[in-house]
Structure 1
Amino acid sequence: MAPLNTHILNSGSSRAGNDEGNFSLRDMLHLLRDHIWTLLAFVAIATTLATAYAFFSAPTYSADVVVRVDPPTPPDQNALGISRQDGTAQQQPGTQATAAEISLMQSRSVLDPVIRQFQFDVEVVPHAFPILGRFAEQLAYPGRPSKPWFGLSSFAWGGERLVIPSLNVPAFLEEKPLELIALDNGRYELRAPNGDLLLRGETGKPATSLDGLSITVKELIARPGTQFTVTHRNTLDAIDALRRQLKIAEVTKDTGIVQISFASKDRGLTADVANAVAQQYIASAVSSRQLNDTKTLEFIQGELPRLKRDLTNAEQALSDYQSSTETMRPTTEAQSYLQGSIELQQRTSALQLQRTQAASIFTPNSQQIKTIDAQLAQLADAKRAFDSRFVSMPTSERRNAELTRDAKVAETIYLGMVSKAEELSVRRASASGGAHIVDEAMQPYRPIKPNRPLVIFAGGGLGFFIGAFFIVLRRYATTGVTDPLFVERRLDVPVLGEVLFSRQQAQLENETSVQPSRASLFGRDDGMPGLPDPHSLALDPLDAQSSSPNFATGLVREAAARILACRLPHEPSVEALREVRTQVCRDRLNKKNNIVMLTGPSPSTGKSFVAANLSILLTEVGLRILLIDADMRRGNLASFFKQSNRGGLSEVLQGKLASADAVRSVGVRGLSFISCGAYPANPSELLMMHDFKQVVDQLSERFDLVLVDSPPFLVVTDAAIMAPHAGATVLVLRSGMQSEDEISETVKKLRRAGGRLLGSVFNAIPKRASNWRSYEQAAQYTRTVNETDEV
């Protein structure tokens, strides 16, 4: 088994008051500290990758242009410039109007000319070697192709340049990667994805093929044999890609100031594209406004003759009526009626003109026509309500007021239309489109990304969180229990001691030792070469009782020198087992007999190591100890004392040897030992057919304490047969070897068999960084004790 060494962190029932199953922040910090090197490895790897990305990824530059969007003509003002005063709110340029202009800036009508101007629908990618090609590109100068690495001349190693101002492909080659191979003297050849030759051409001259493919290469700087991937992208895909590179937003809300930003890895391209988008938007706005002005002007010019006739007729009707009635000035009541009716009539006439203009654009059932009709209906209702207030007015005065109103409204409409026509004529001739550039884009100096300090810091942070997640996930996903606290909290099994992995015991295990001989049981030397007969070393129990308890040093024979408690009695792992001894001695009065069984859920938990060292430590307090190796299948406890297995428990149960004759001395005063004997074919049957209880009861009368090292509990049934005969059972667990289910099943079967569980010893615990202070204190104290002993 693997040797184990521990410093006692906590033991016994001191943790019983803790909540079961809780994983607190403190536990998390301890867990991370215990796996600090794993965590640092994740951080180091992530930081290294982030650093490589920060320094070797192509930088991204950004340029921005500022555009002012002029306030549009309010929608409640008609072509005559007459306010409707219908209570509808005016639209402000900083709200919906600016949002609409931003949408126009991203429209296909604006971006498509930019796509064609900068050939964004043609994608050119040098065929670079993976990873190394990106690194080599960072070291090269633009326009000066680098020498090929490792003789790989078909790859681009930086400095290459290919400019294609025109590429037209048939539909079946759209979005297909074509391979362009540079030849000597500025020549090239273009191949299909399957490798078929499409055409050959020369720099500066258009080249065409029979299937409608045409290409013009303006500039080609590359070593002969260098390959490029050329793809003609679909226009819609190219526009979507350009939109993703653009960022258009209003600088300050409700100001109409819009910033257009373009980001690209080509620093010289950023400012040109940003300015081109702004200029194309303004050109589109100018064209759209001129088109609208032309249509409106044509409408006004078509209405002016009719409006002129309406004005002439209205003035003539008023003049004739006033002459016939000799009425020149209206009364006060008629003046009030005149003012109100003029206002309503002007609004009605303005809406009627708007409806006439809208009817030439929209269908009768459109929302625009329905809105105007609803407003006209509201004005008609308002006019009827207004007229009802003047029912008592004399007919002559009312008629005079109506004619005067008609004449004034006709005059206002006609003059407004004339003024509007002049305004539209002047505006149509200008180049203003309702927007202008405030600040043109300039070529950027510094890249916007990657932000190297931020990327490196974020990479380290990401590595920390990934490492922490991995450590916590492994803690819960692992099948083996590694935390003694978990055993106590979750499984309700007291931990008598926590034993760390011992390098010193490992060295003892590796020391050259003579293997025990396999001699006969009777009449011949059953010991080892150079050692006396083990049975001749047996001590009388009374002699052991009279011996001094402090004999671990100086009285150890060579046979017990491999046991850590004998060689290094003050080693921290031995101190941990002394804590177990304390718990065992404290429990002596609470159990039915003086027999203590040590077992484990599975093999290789270290129960033999614990049994051998614990037996030595129990003799230090003056107890007479009998150690029995009851594992008749794979028992090797005799090897700790350099003795043979033969002549032990199996022979006693078979009746070949008396129990008293099987008791051996191991060279330590107060300690006697019974080996497992020769491995029988039926150990379980031996335990059940022959009275194992009678054997151990007889032996226990001669000793203060009997330690029984039994087989693993879940592997064979031997331990379940022995458990009812022991006053207490100590469960030896090894860190990371047994799962929660295995430990729980062992405890359940032990209690079902009638055994009494005293507690557990948590074995082979690796040192944890979270407990380094306790380890250091224990080591310092141990050094002090050893130095005192030497003195």
Structure 2
Amino acid sequence: MNLFRFSNAPSATATDQGQLSARGVLSLMRDHAWEIARIAGLVFALAVVYLYVASPLYSADVLVRVDAPEPNALGIALQNQDNAPPSAPSATAEMQVMQSRSVIQPVLERFRFDISATPVMVPLLGKIASKFANPGELSEPWLGLKTFAWGGEEIKIAALEVPRELEGERMQLVALGSNSYELQGPSGEHLLSGTVGKTESSYGVSMKVEQLVARPGTRFKVIRWNTLDAIAQFLAAVKVKAKEQDTGIVSITYNNEDPALAAEIANALAQQYIASAVSARQRDDTNTLAFINSELPRLRADLKQSEEALNKFRMSSQSLQPTAESQAYLQGGIDFQRQISTLQLQRTQLLRTYQPDSQWVRNVDSQIAQLASAKSTFDARFGNMPTSERMSVELARDARVSESIYLGMVNKAEQLSVRRASTTGGVNVVDYALRPHRPIKPNSLLVLSGGAGIGLVAGVFFVFIRRHVMMGVTDPHFVERVTSVPVFGEVLFSPQQARLDQEISAATRRPTTARNGRTSGAAPVRPLPSIAAAGGGSSPNAASVPRLGFSATRVLAARFPQDVTVEALRVVRTMLNRGLTHVSNNIVMFTGPTPSAGKSFVAANIAVLQAETGSRVLLIDADMRRGRLAYFFGQYNRGGLSDVLAGDTDPSELIRNVGIHGLSFMSCGSYPDNPAELLMKRRFKDMLQRMGQEYDLVIVDTPPFLAVTDAAIVAGEAGATILVLRSGMQSEYEITETVKKLERSEANLVGAIFNAIPLRRSNRNYGYATGYATLDLIEGSD
């Protein structure tokens, strides 16, 4: 069954050019499934290459426990803890300390992370080659590039000091052989030469290389980083986080390409932090102990004075049995006095660090005032007590409060003395880091699945972008709706025609037609009788036509008449004949907006198909700039329209027989310098009128309409104009602009042809099989 899709039905895959329906999206993806698969395969292959060349990254972590902070150094709790002075650092604060310069810098300098020395490799190739190398064993250079590293190179710089202007700059170390090297500056200038194991100094640069394994001429990139830059880079590989909220357990993680080094540095960070915490704790304990020791003599004197006053009062007065009221007064007074005394002691300690008007000192003063006011109210409740009994209670209270504070401070001093000798500082290591076994990056499963997924998305994205941005109009229905020009038919891309084009190109590459029309090795053209040639399948002068080195039949309709593309062209022929019923003459012009639309292909095949109906047809190649219709029939351009318009030859003498009954042909001739001016001559109009009288149909193939003005000139003489569009090649603007200019040229645009539509999975209704005869197909299209 010979089937094709006729253009008068709306497109099933597009609601508008640039807008796809859901069905259209699926159809587009199905049509370009192989392209999507190729892009996905390429991205997947890149993912595989990345897995091979990427350096594995290992992670080692150490667990540290941070003890809960004390309220303050003296262990004295205040009534309002929200406004209390800063306590010892919490776990959250300690996490910031772990990433501070005081912790990071000693580790950085110990492992020399402020010095970067890496071998210079060829991008990608160097990485691949290094995968085959053993540490310390130099690989043979690839492609003879001996100055690059190819695996096995090692370098260790023990010390490097440079002037400030060279910090962060890329220097180059060149191995010279025999354990010697040369250090070059950023511009290649010589800085110093040295030997492995010795400290060398020159031009303000001091350097010591401990190890160098490299082929002579091998280059290394060397950078001495500024301390702040080195710390920032180092911190990028460090991660500090709490394992669980409010547990005080903190994890310090370090990532490195060397698993052993990763564990060593993680442990070093923990040890450095502990050393820093111990130092800070000892310093605080020393300061607190010094304060306590400075206060103890005063507290001891206060205690002695209170006890002496109490004993003296008891000796001078008769001892009375304490009453319940006096016991209550004594206990309450002790509580108030102890709090006031401890706050006064706390205030004294705060004044060592803060100003009297600071928030923390003023907070203590406020609490002291509040307690004093409460104590006054409390004392007023016992105003009726006997004076002697009241004085006895107050002296006993002062003695007991002084004793309590003094003993508490003595105990605190003893605790601080013991703790100051401790090596934990309130933190300790729970788990030291071990050498990791598996890398954390790259994750093979994630990279491969991601590569496949990204590849598919990239493939689909590329297809859509190409359709919307890079490709032109692909929907014939859109053309009809926007331009109101009927589409006579949709012609499929023909692989057979592609092979014919290759044959033509192969043959035309040998002899070529120059601008002056002379072709090497071609016989001169002899006159051909127009009517005699047109009337039959051969001509006595046919052998004299300048021909290429192959058979004259390179027109698809003549070579493969049953091709599905030819069937679609027969429908175009039928629609064209209908469109010519109300035109001024029988001259039909074929043009396209831009080059490569396929107008010459359509014109030649329509001419052959029309000749098959018994009509006498003349095909004229009016593209005197790049015309190549003669090649379709195995002939050269020389001797054609340009010669007629130049006034040198009568048209009848240059009309050729192409070996197809009823079809005659006039080539474009030699390429003139003024084709537009020739077409504007009266001779061209007279020739068309004469040919229109002698032939049933005259088909004129013209240059692209938007490229030059030739087609606009011819359009005014043609009774009908056919616009040939190639699927996906012309933009909406180019199509609409061509239609507008054709209207301004007073052309009778009767229809358009959508050419070279790709045969895809989504348009299988174009499929061709035997079943209907050609005539049935044409009648069915009617």
TM-score range, shorter chain: 0.7 to 0.9
TM-score (norm 1): 0.75
The answer to whether residue 369 in structure 2 is matched with residue 380 in structure 1 is: yes
Secondary structure at the residue paired with 1:15? Answer: coil
Paired residues for 1:69-468 under 5 Å: 69-73=66-70, 75=71, 77=72, 79=74, 81-86=75-80, 88=82, 97-128=90-121, 131-146=124-139, 156-168=149-161, 174-175=167-168, 177=171, 179=173, 181=175, 183-184=177-178, 187-189=179-181, 191-193=183-185, 194=188, 196=190, 198=192, 200-201=194-195, 203=197, 206-209=198-201, 217-221=209-213, 228=220, 230-315=222-307, 329=322, 332=325, 342-364=334-356, 369-381=358-370, 383-384=372-373, 387-388=376-377, 391=380, 393-394=382-383, 396=385, 406-468=398-460
Alignment CA distance shift 1:629-1:321 (3 Å): farther
CA contact (8 A) 1:601 1:712 kept: yes
Paired residues for 1:720-731 under 5 Å: 720=712, 729-731=721-723
Secondary structure at the residue paired with 2:428? Answer: strand
2:518 aligns with none
What amino acid is aligned across from residue 686 of structure 1 in structure 2?
R
Paired residues for 1:480-499 under 5 Å: 481=473, 484=476, 487-488=479-480, 493-499=485-491
The answer to whether residue 526 in structure 2 is matched with residue 532 in structure 1 is: no
What amino acid is aligned across from residue 444 of structure 2 in structure 1?
R
- State the distance in 2 between where 1:673 and 1:109 align: 96
Q: Deviations over 1:189-244 (max 9, x none)?
A: 554535647354464xx535477765555555556666555544333333323222
The answer to whether residue 53 in structure 2 is matched with residue 59 in structure 1 is: no
What amino acid is aligned across from residue 380 of structure 1 in structure 2?
A
Q: Deviation of residue 256 (structure 1)?
A: 1.4
CA contact (8 A) 1:167 1:215 kept: yes
- State the distance in 2 between where 1:657 and 1:208 align: 95
Q: Deviation of residue 629 (structure 1)?
A: 4.2
Q: Deviation of residue 714 (structure 1)?
A: 3.8
Calculate percent identity across the aligned residue pairs: 43
Query: Is there any run of 5+ residues in structure 2 with no aligned partner, and where?
Result: 509-520, 543-550, 777-782
| Counterpart selection for 1:747 from 735, 739, 742 | 739
Query: Is there any run of 5+ residues in structure 1 with no aligned partner, and where?
Result: 1-5, 536-558
- State the distance in 1 between where 2:561 and 2:34 align: 32
2:7 aligns with 11
- State the distance in 2 between where 1:232 and 1:729 align: 75
What amino acid is aligned across from residue 261 of structure 1 in structure 2?
T
Q: Deviations over 1:330-357 (max 9, x none)?
A: 655x766766665554444333323322
Q: Deviation of residue 38 (structure 1)?
A: 5.0
- State the distance in 1 between where 2:445 and 2:483 align: 48
Secondary structure at the residue paired with 1:730? Answer: strand
Q: Deviations over 1:527-574 (max 9, x none)?
A: 799923799xxxxxxxxxxxxxxxxxxxxxxx9965433443321101
The answer to whether residue 494 in structure 2 is matched with residue 502 in structure 1 is: yes
Q: Deviations over 1:583-642 (max 9, x none)?
A: 44666788899876543234553334324433555677x796766749485787788679
What amino acid is aligned across from residue 730 of structure 1 in structure 2?
I
Alignment CA distance shift 1:732-1:395 (3 Å): same
CA contact (8 A) 1:78 1:354 kept: no
CA contact (8 A) 1:521 1:647 kept: no
Q: Deviation of residue 308 (structure 1)?
A: 2.4
- State the distance in 2 between where 1:221 and 1:645 align: 73
Secondary structure at the residue paired with 2:366? Answer: helix
- State the distance in 2 between where 1:156 and 1:678 align: 63
Secondary structure at the residue paired with 1:262? Answer: strand
Tell which deviates more after alignment, 141-150 or 524-533.
524-533
Q: What is the aligned residue count? A: 735
CA contact (8 A) 1:62 1:263 kept: yes
Paired residues for 1:553-568 under 5 Å: 562-568=554-560
2:511 aligns with none
CA contact (8 A) 1:199 1:207 kept: no
Tell which deviates more after alignment, 216-225 or 49-58.
216-225
- State the distance in 2 between where 1:89 and 1:212 align: 55
TM-score (norm 2): 0.76
What amino acid is aligned across from residue 569 of structure 1 in structure 2?
P
What amino acid is aligned across from residue 682 of structure 2 in structure 1?
L
Q: Which has the higher contact order (CA 8 A, sep 6+)?
A: 1
- State the distance in 2 between where 1:691 and 1:202 align: 93
Q: Deviation of residue 520 (structure 1)?
A: 5.1
- Pairwise CA RMSD: 5.2
Secondary structure at the residue paired with 1:59? Answer: coil
Alignment CA distance shift 1:91-1:26 (3 Å): farther
- State the distance in 1 between where 2:739 and 2:32 align: 30
Alignment CA distance shift 1:232-1:753 (3 Å): closer
The answer to whether residue 680 in structure 2 is matched with residue 684 in structure 1 is: yes
Secondary structure at the residue paired with 1:139? Answer: coil
Q: Deviation of residue 727 (structure 1)?
A: 7.3
Q: Deviation of residue 320 (structure 1)?
A: 6.5
Alignment CA distance shift 1:267-1:750 (3 Å): same
Secondary structure at the residue paired with 1:66? Answer: strand
- State the distance in 1 between where 2:305 and 2:311 align: 10
CA contact (8 A) 2:47 2:447 kept: yes
- State the distance in 2 between where 1:508 and 1:240 align: 66
- State the distance in 2 between where 1:113 and 1:567 align: 86
Secondary structure at the residue paired with 2:724? Answer: strand
Secondary structure at the residue paired with 2:680? Answer: helix
Q: Deviations over 1:120-152 (max 9, x none)?
A: 333333455655443343323223444566776
- State the distance in 1 between where 2:191 and 2:668 align: 86
- State the distance in 1 between where 2:134 and 2:237 align: 26
CA contact (8 A) 2:586 2:698 kept: yes
CA contact (8 A) 2:61 2:263 kept: yes
CA contact (8 A) 1:351 1:372 kept: no
CA contact (8 A) 2:527 2:654 kept: no
Secondary structure at the residue paired with 1:288? Answer: helix
Q: Deviation of residue 417 (structure 1)?
A: 1.3
Q: Deviation of residue 296 (structure 1)?
A: 0.6
Q: Deviations over 1:44-64 (max 9, x none)?
A: 444444333322333222222
CA contact (8 A) 2:285 2:416 kept: yes
CA contact (8 A) 1:487 1:493 kept: yes
